[in-house]
Chain A
């Protein structure tokens, strides 16, 4: 591996092949703050059991970026979901800083990153607590970015930087992500969720448009009107407004291509 230039706030742990960077990070985090202080960043060249939402496989060949960041923010546990939006903004800005002309980077609720309308990066956040604790000891922020390769068989269409003809390397992407994440996390810690929400709304796809949200047991169609103060998606339907906290978002152009 070549030398990596990342902010001093992060302790980089570079690994060649792991089952999943989140698993490595959780094991380290559970050992305590001394073993894994805030800012411990696990980076692997390859994952053998990369995971996405609800146990879905995350395509993890060498050539893509896989990281898990251990954080110990002094923020109430109830606000932790906000961190996914912070991280999504960081990847969005990282890609913008590496961007080639003529490409579009957008966010898809809650924290997927789209490049030219297709998913290029995603997050899986994990933590643990008892039902009575108000704070968490750690949170693991797992991120996968398709730099060189992308899967063909995903529910939502995927792409990679190389497929979109960006010459970015894994190392460049990692450096850019850590820089932008540090900036957005600092903003969040200092100023709260409001600026994160406002900036996320500027960069998201589908605002004030009809979307489909797939929950586990039903699919909802409505107009995506807002992000509420906790990060829930506000979906306006003909007779009601619903706040969505869990689900997969699809846009009409993607649904039409699915049917084609």
Chain B
């Protein structure tokens, strides 16, 4: 069972506000380990998930929760995360900016959950200082989830989409 970025962020908030030093959550196919005080490159805490089903090799997902002043705090700064998701590919934001799912507010989203996509297909726009960057898919597959919200400020390396490869 894959956890979404939002669900992990919620769990991180709860754990960080608690007195727990370690939380281990085991779901079908996923093991989530959150440990306060572990050494990471971005903070003093650590979060990891592991596939408990080894039938497929997972891809690595690293999330940087470092937060700039104008960005809503998605999770405590003290926690960093790394996630190995089962058989899926996560599209991360290559820059800080505003995430748009639509070419313009009146138009349909580039992609929706469940859509089949091909490599090179536009997925979203990221705006920074009136520069609009179209982010294209690197692989063909299915949009498993749209992780970021339309119009949301996103950080470098923040997950935007989860793609299930073809």
Contact = CB atoms under 8 A, between A and B. Distances in A.
Same assembly: yes
A80 B131 CA distance: 8
Contacts of B138: 130-132
Interface stretch (B25-33, B43-51, B90-98): B90-98
Contact of B131 (A51, A55, A84, A133): A84
Contacts of A110: 129-130
Given A55-B104, A77-B94, A84 B129 contact: yes
Interface residues of A, number: 37
Contact of A216 (B95, B98, B160): B98
Contact of B94 (A124, A129, A217, A232): A129
A105 interface: no
Interface in B51-83: 68-70
Counting chain A CB atoms within 10 Å of each CB, which of B91, B96, B103, B106 scores highest?
Answer: B96
A128 interface: yes
Nearest to B133: A127
Interface in B68-126: 68-70, 91-98, 100, 103-107, 122
A172 B131 CA distance: 27
Given A55-B106, A217-B151, A245 B93 contact: no
Nearest to B96: A245
Counting chain A CB atoms within 10 Å of each CB, which of B95, B127, B129, B135 scores highest?
Answer: B129
A126 B132 contact: yes
Given A240-B69, A241-B69, A131 B92 contact: yes
A131 B160 contact: yes
B80 to A, nearest CB: 19
Contacts of A53: 127, 130
Given A127-B134, A130-B136, 7 more contacts: A55-B103, A80-B133, A81-B129, A122-B130, A123-B130, A246-B97, A246-B128
A245 B98 contact: yes
22 contacts: A51-B104, A54-B100, A55-B104, A55-B105, A55-B106, A77-B94, A80-B131, A111-B129, A125-B132, A127-B131, A127-B133, A128-B122, A128-B133, A128-B134, A129-B94, A133-B94, A243-B68, A243-B69, A244-B70, A245-B70, A245-B98, A246-B128
B15 interface: no
Contacts of A260: none
A242 B69 CA distance: 5
Contacts of A245: 70, 96-98, 128-129, 153
Nearest 10 CB-CB pairings of A with B: A55-B104, A110-B129, A128-B134, A125-B131, A246-B98, A81-B129, A242-B70, A216-B151, A242-B69, A130-B138
Contacts, number: 99
B147 interface: no
Interface string A51-90: 1011100000000000000000000011011011100000
B106 A129 contact: no
Interface in A99-154: 110-111, 122-133, 139
A206 interface: no
Contacts of A54: 100, 104-105, 127
Contacts of A50: none
Nearest to B134: A128
A21 B21 CA distance: 57
B73 to A, nearest CB: 13
B8 interface: no
B144 interface: no
B137 interface: yes
Contacts of B106: 55
Counting chain A CB atoms within 10 Å of each CB, which of B70, B92, B94, B95 scores highest?
Answer: B70
Given A81-B129, A243-B68, A243-B70, A128 B136 contact: yes
A131 B135 contact: yes
A158 B81 CA distance: 47
